[in-house]
Structure formats: C-alpha cells, structure tokens
Amino acid sequence: MEPSIRSFIAIDLSDAARRQIEELTQALRKSDAQVGWVRIDGIHLTLKFLGNVVPELIEEIKPVLARLASQTGPIHIEPAGCGAFPTIKAPRVIWVGLRGQIRPLAELAQRVEAEMAPLGFKPEDRPFKPHLTLGRVRGRARLQPLQQILLAHQDFTAQPFDAVEVVLYKSELRPDGARYTSLFKAPLSAPPAPAEE
C-alpha cells in the first residue's frame, strides 16, 4: 500500500504580491521573536486542508476540482493589512489579510467544502477567514518588538492580482519548514465575477 499524501487545496499568489509580502516578512523577522516563519514560496491562500490522503483518493479529487474551477471565474484579490490571530496582544498566527472579491472567494471555499464531504473529508466547523499565514508564534520571548512591527504595518498592501486557478498541493514537513509540491492545477475558467461595490 502506498503511503498517504498530506495535502490541501489552495490559491497561489502572484509573483509581485509574493515579493512585497516577503519584504513585510523580513521586517517582522527583525523582531527576533520565536516564530516559525512560512517559507516565502510556500505562502498561499488555503481553501481546504485535506490531511493525509491515500493516492487513489487524490485521483478522485482531481476531476471534482476541475469541475468546481470550471464553474468559477478569476477572482480579484488584494493582500491588505497584517495582524495576528487571536489578537496582536496575544499572537499565535501572523497573517496578511485579503480584500477584493471576498464573496466569490468565500463561495468557492464553501463549494470546495461541500464537494469534499462526500469523499470523506470532514467539513471545517470554523467560518472561512481568507488570509495568508506568514508564521506561527512558538514562544513568548521578544513579543513586544513583534507587536510593535505588526502595529506599524497594519496598513500594509501588496499589488492586487487575479486568482486564475486552484491547486491541489502535497505538503512535506521537513526540519527547515514545509515544502509544497503541486499535484494538480485547475483553471478558474468561467466568466469573471462582477466587481464588488
């Protein structure tokens, strides 16, 4: 029996947005806080974490994703703001927020959830909060400098971009951080969603 594959479904960033987020991450790293930073090439917008999946099921997921993507058009996304979950005063996850066409993005995430349930994936019980995870706090040391840098960058923005595909990723946990490999890409090929007011 082949080993299971740790996997998730996500949307990638544009290269320009990724570069600007990398500059923000470099500023945050100067705090020397105990944070496990996400590799810059690994920052993405997660739609659904699948966990460990057997290879046969991966093959069943691909046509479902292709069908979902064909019913969704490109989605305009603007990385904007940065902060921490649950709060900047008690940070556990460092994030960049998103604005733009959030309704079509949330609808896509809901449809992914609904389509994955019959394949045996437990629906997420938390509401979808679109964000990009930059790092996870691992200790309490040097939090004040980190909080100050976060507060100074709350108005952060990166270049807007259009999400044009959903990606099924394989995740490999390594000592130097998780590595992600694309297993399948499905273009968002329906007519674009109307602009939000």
**Catalytic residue set:** 44, 131
Determine contact, residues 50/121, Cβ cutoff 8 Å.
yes
CA distances in angstroms from 93 to 18, 64, 113, 119, 134, listed in the order given? 18, 31, 23, 30, 8
Which residues contact residue 118 at a Cβ distance below 8 angstroms, ignoring those fewer than 6 apart? none
CA 75/CA 193 separation, integer angstroms? 7
CA 109/CA 46 separation, integer angstroms? 9
CA 174/CA 190 separation, integer angstroms? 37
Phi (first) and psi of residue 141, to 5 degrees = -70, 140
> Is the C-alpha dihedral spanning 171, 132, 24, 16 positive or negative?
positive
- Cα angle 110, 134, 68 (rounded to 5 degrees) comes to 25
